[in-house]
Homo-oligomer: A and B are copies of this chain.
Amino acid sequence: MSDKTTRDLIVEAADRLFYRQGYEHTSFADIADAVRISRGNFYHHFKTKDEILDAVIGARLDGTRSMLERWTIEGKGPADRIRSFIHILVANQTEIMRHGCPVGTLCSELAKLGHASQAEATKLFTLLRTWLRRQFALLGREADADTLAMHLLARSQGIATLANAFHDEKFIKQEVKLMGDWLRSCADGSVSQPKRTNRRRASG
C-alpha cells in the first residue's frame, strides 16, 4: 500500500480521470490535484501527456491479462468463464451507467483525436477477443469461435453505450439475461446459425 511509487499513483489517478472525464478533457492540473503533487514534479515522471496515456493503457492491459488469467484458472468450464466476462456488466453497472465502458469509450475518443496510441488501446479489445475465442473453441465451436467472440464483445459494448446514454439499470440486467440465454444456446449448438445451410460439423 505505502510502497506505491509516485509514478504508480499518477497512473492510477490518470486512469480514473481518463475514464470519467475522457483523455483530452483531463489536464495535467487535474491529475496533479488528484495525486496532490505539484505540476512541475510531473515532468520528472512523464515527459508528455501521451506518455501518461501509454502508461495507463499498459496498466489496463496488465490488469486485463491478470483478470483473464484468474478466470481461466478459477472457472470450472469455458461456459462459466464466459459468464464471468458477461458478469462484468453487472458488477460494474453503476460506473458503466455513469461513464460507459472504459475500453470502448477510450478507443472511440482516441479514434476521434487521431491519436497515435489508438492501436495500443485496441489491444485491450484484442485481449478479450482472443480469450473469448479460446473459450468458445473449448465449447466446441472452433469453426466460428472468433465470430462468437466478436458478437459477444459487440453486444457488451452496445449495452454499455445505451446504459450510459439512458442511465438505465434495468436494461443492463435485461440484456445480461438475454446474453446468458444466448450463451446456453451456443453450447447446445442449437440456434445462432438459424439459416438452414448445409451445416458442416467441426471435425475435431
Tell me the A residues contacting B by CB distance below 8 Å.
Answer: 20-22, 24-25, 98-100, 104-105, 107-109, 111-114, 121-122, 125, 147, 150-151, 153-159, 161-162, 164-166, 171, 174-175, 178, 181-182, 184-185, 191, 194-195
Contact = CB atoms under 8 A, between A and B. Distances in A.
Contacts of A109: 22, 108-109, 112
Given A161-B157, A171-B150, A175-B154, A112 B125 contact: no
Contacts of A194: 181-182, 184-185, 191
Contacts of A184: 194
Tell me how many chains of this kind the complex includes. Answer: 2
A53 to B, nearest CB: 15
12 contacts: A22-B109, A100-B108, A104-B108, A104-B165, A105-B108, A107-B164, A108-B161, A108-B164, A121-B165, A156-B158, A158-B158, A161-B161
